Structure 1
């Protein structure tokens, strides 16, 4: 207990001594499982850190949380223990490879809606403490659109939508866009095509997807980029080491680095970003309907 208190005090002191940041909250979505969503979230976070960004990665893939497994880590605490044991967010903020700060989801944490009102309030209050702590907070959500993941996307500043070129993945990704746009027409979605054979194929698929969304939904989505098929990715998953660290010169790693640079330089303004406070406020309102 004394160690936990000492850690919390160190984190608080560190937070107070650092410049206040306006955290940019990004959720990572996919229409179906198996497209590399969590692996993208992890390696994208590490790529942003290479550029000097302070990043916190939150695993909100309820029931299927696996960010810690991809890193080969065994977290001492997680979101479920924070809620049930009334721990502070600083108690569950773990450090992974290269000092990446992350919050594990924890097995058994399946639905926010199943929490008691008091537990949800505590959860939101602790998350809000991250305000000003990081430049970017990346939230990995469940595949598809459970009610919880849908509400997370609607509460974030931006949504990164990951898909592959497979027709089923494309169809499911389109369904995600359609549902989110139907609920919030102003939502900002950036499309990432994963595991492409070559860049030309990826951009062709992305362009057709963008055109279909514009034609049928009268919505403009942004094409963020295409990540090549790379054997180093599977090798790193088996080794439980992020591929951008295990194979920094691989095609996938170099592409992630370029995407990270685009992300950092593409939005220098804080206008329109609700940050973690905005995320918590909107998510709380949705879950306490």
Structure 2
């Protein structure tokens, strides 16, 4: 079974690479890779969104895709903490001109790259034209550095989170089977769609006891969205509830690395394979430069 799974992942990667130049092409003079920009969000805190983002990114990295996490969770940024890494530089240093984008990018386990979060996101909407141009020039360098950039936003719908959702090509909404989490996930989708009807979402059910519970949870949200918003929600997959996850958090090591054979790690790998097996959303938004323009309102 493991050999079959390995072959399936190889086929999925080859299929994806038809549309995505191989990692490192930006450094070898080959055509620049097409960066897929993904926002990961949730309707409420405490659903394991950041932990999901981290392990999702590590699984992409393990499959040969250069991946970068941009911690956009204002006030509760913790991607570096989950990896046991102390960050001394964040986005605020870039906005103030104290650091370059290259100095902000740090390397975590398995070569995963990340930018630590910080209060600097508050200042994005207050940049002058010259500051916005400088910021865009710096951040734009990320576009050729990775196959995937994951923006881990704050829980709930702040002004900053809504900007990231509206600007990104794809948005993953993480929920759990808890009724409050389901309600808040739907509320977030409703509020975003009222402002931008073109935004599409994919549901991720975290901490599901089994696939049946995950399916029932996703169907509850999808049914209400279909009935009241006329929106068809796609379910990406689920991550199984597993005590190894909380154990890994305490150890400050991603669970897919600390416990690769755990139920959570196995279900995460299945979810990532499903993600890579899906056709990417067509990008008619101007790529990474268009994303930045929408993000800072320029």
* Residue pair 1:112, 1:148 contacting (<8 A) in 2 also: no
Per the TM alignment, residue 153 of structure 1 is displaced from its structure 2 partner at its CA by 0.3
Compare 78-87 and 198-207 and name the one that shifted more. Answer: 78-87
Per the TM alignment, residue 112 of structure 1 is displaced from its structure 2 partner at its CA by 3.1
Per the TM alignment, residue 122 of structure 1 is displaced from its structure 2 partner at its CA by 3.0
Say yes or no: does 1:178 pair with 2:167.
no
* Residue pair 1:93, 1:103 contacting (<8 A) in 2 also: yes
Residues 1:273 and 1:132: Cα distance change in structure 2 (over 3 Å)? farther
CA distance in structure 2 between the aligned counterparts of 1:17 and 1:270, rounded to whole angstroms: 26
Per the TM alignment, residue 87 of structure 1 is displaced from its structure 2 partner at its CA by 2.0
* Residue pair 2:169, 2:281 contacting (<8 A) in 1 also: no
2:115 to 99, 103, 114: 103
2:75 to 43, 47, 63: 63
Per the TM alignment, residue 223 of structure 1 is displaced from its structure 2 partner at its CA by 0.6
Residues 1:161 and 1:83: Cα distance change in structure 2 (over 3 Å)? same
What is residue 216 of structure 1 aligned with on the other side?
228
Q: What CA RMSD, in Å, does the superposition of the two structures yield over aligned residues?
A: 1.9
Say yes or no: does 1:162 pair with 2:174.
yes
> Can you give the 5+ residue segments of structure 1 that lack an aligned partner in the other structure?
1-12
1:226 to 200, 214, 238: 238
Residues 1:34 and 1:61: Cα distance change in structure 2 (over 3 Å)? same
**SS of residue matched to 1:130:** helix
What is residue 200 of structure 1 aligned with on the other side?
212
Compare 76-85 and 230-239 and name the one that shifted more. Answer: 76-85
* Residue pair 2:39, 2:153 contacting (<8 A) in 1 also: yes
**SS of residue matched to 1:144:** coil
Residues 1:25 and 1:263: Cα distance change in structure 2 (over 3 Å)? same
- Once the two structures are superposed, residues 8-30 of structure 1 have per-residue CA deviations (whole angstroms, 9 ceiling, x without a partner) of xxxxx984326411111000010
Per the TM alignment, residue 251 of structure 1 is displaced from its structure 2 partner at its CA by 1.0
Residues 1:78 and 1:113: Cα distance change in structure 2 (over 3 Å)? closer
Per the TM alignment, residue 261 of structure 1 is displaced from its structure 2 partner at its CA by 1.4
* TM-score normalised by L of structure 2: 0.86
* Residue pair 2:92, 2:121 contacting (<8 A) in 1 also: no
**SS of residue matched to 2:144:** coil
Per the TM alignment, residue 113 of structure 1 is displaced from its structure 2 partner at its CA by 4.8
Per the TM alignment, residue 79 of structure 1 is displaced from its structure 2 partner at its CA by 1.2
**SS of residue matched to 2:142:** coil
Residues 1:14 and 1:23: Cα distance change in structure 2 (over 3 Å)? closer
What is residue 140 of structure 1 aligned with on the other side?
152
**SS of residue matched to 1:109:** helix
Per the TM alignment, residue 226 of structure 1 is displaced from its structure 2 partner at its CA by 1.5
* Residue pair 2:37, 2:168 contacting (<8 A) in 1 also: yes
**SS of residue matched to 2:192:** helix
Say yes or no: does 1:17 pair with 2:20.
no
CA distance in structure 2 between the aligned counterparts of 1:56 and 1:92, rounded to whole angstroms: 12
CA distance in structure 1 between the aligned counterparts of 2:266 and 2:205, rounded to whole angstroms: 15
Superposition pairs of residues 44-83 of structure 1, within 5 angstroms = 44-83=56-95
CA distance in structure 2 between the aligned counterparts of 1:18 and 1:226, rounded to whole angstroms: 39
What is residue 283 of structure 1 aligned with on the other side?
295
* Residue pair 1:35, 1:163 contacting (<8 A) in 2 also: yes
* TM-score normalised by L of structure 1: 0.89
CA distance in structure 1 between the aligned counterparts of 2:172 and 2:123, rounded to whole angstroms: 22
Give the count of matched residue pairs. Answer: 273
- Once the two structures are superposed, residues 105-151 of structure 1 have per-residue CA deviations (whole angstroms, 9 ceiling, x without a partner) of 13x43513564424444333221111222111000001101001011
